[in-house]
Structures are given as C-alpha cells and as structure tokens.
Amino acid sequence: MDMNRTFIPARELGLWSSSASAYLRRRRVGHLEEEAQATVEAEQAHTRDLEKQIRSDIEQVVSDVQAAESKIKISELQLQQAHEAVAIARTKYETGSITNLDFLDTETAESEARLLNLQALYRFVISKYELDRAIGAVEF
C-alpha cells in the first residue's frame, strides 16, 4: 500500500448517490423517531408510577386521620372517666376515706389522661394537614 496516497471520500468525488444520502437521512430520522417514542413511553411509565405513589400516600394519610379521630374519641372517654374519678376521690379525701397520696395519684391519672387527649388532638391536626397537603388543598 502506498503511504503517500490520500483517502478522498466518495462524496467529494461526486460518487455519492442521492439515494444513498436519502437512505441515510431516513435511517437517521427513523432512529430519532424510535428514540423519541422510547422517551415518551418512559415518561408515561414514570407518570403512572407517580400516580400510584400519590394514591398510596393519600390512602395512608386518610388512614392516619381516621386513626387519630379514633384515638381522640378514646382519649376523651378516658379523660371523662378521670374527671369522675377525681370527683369521687375528692369526696373520699374530704371524708377521710383515702389518703392525700391516693388523691394525688387520682389527679396524676387525670393529668395523664388530659395529656393523652392533647396528643391525640395534635396528631389529628397534623394528619389533617398532611391530608390537605396530599390532595393539594394546602401549598407547601
């Protein structure tokens, strides 16, 4: 092989046919169309995944709100019972039937019931806010 020879592409010599050029253009366009279609399909799959995740998140938050409502009802009943227990303990303490320590224990139980009720209310407010945010009723 002669090393002094220079390679000249067929296109520069005019040997490149218009049909070959058209073929390459169609091939390149076809490849771009396939690539675009693959991108569209990937984005559609991503959108479906996001929709599933959003549905799942909303279902979880709805469940959290329902659980919080249930805990509020239970804690309100416990608080009511604790109030009644304090009233009874006060009467017993005033009549000398129980000691000061017994009465204080009853008041402590009432305070704990009040705290549990406040925690349940707080959890409900947070869960409700998360639900509103999940459904788009509140902006971040």
pLDDT at 139: 72
pTM given for the model: 0.66
Q: Are 28 and 22 in contact (CB under 8 A)?
A: no
- DSSP symbols for 77-101: HHHHHHHHHHHHHHHHHHHTSS-HH
- Cα dihedral 7, 9, 14, 17, rounded to 10, equals 140
Closest CA to 67 of 13, 130, 14: 130
Could you say which DSSP state residue 138 is in? S
Spell out the per-residue pLDDT of the chain, length 140, in tens: 555 666 555 555 555 556 656 666 777 767 878 888 889 999 999 999 999 999 999 999 999 999 999 999 999 999 999 999 999 999 999 999 999 999 999 999 999 999 999 999 999 999 999 999 988 887 75
pLDDT at 38: 87
Q: Rounded to an integer, what distance in angstroms lies between the CA atom of residue 129 and that of residue 109? A: 30
pLDDT at 19: 64
pLDDT at 138: 74
- Helix or strand or coil: residue 63? helix
Q: Rounded to an integer, what distance in angstroms lies between the CA atom of residue 111 and that of residue 95? A: 23
Tell me whether residue 127 is exposed, middle or buried, using C-beta atoms within 10 angstroms of its C-beta: 0 to 12, 13 to 18, 19 or more. Answer: buried
CA 132, chain centre distance (Å): 12
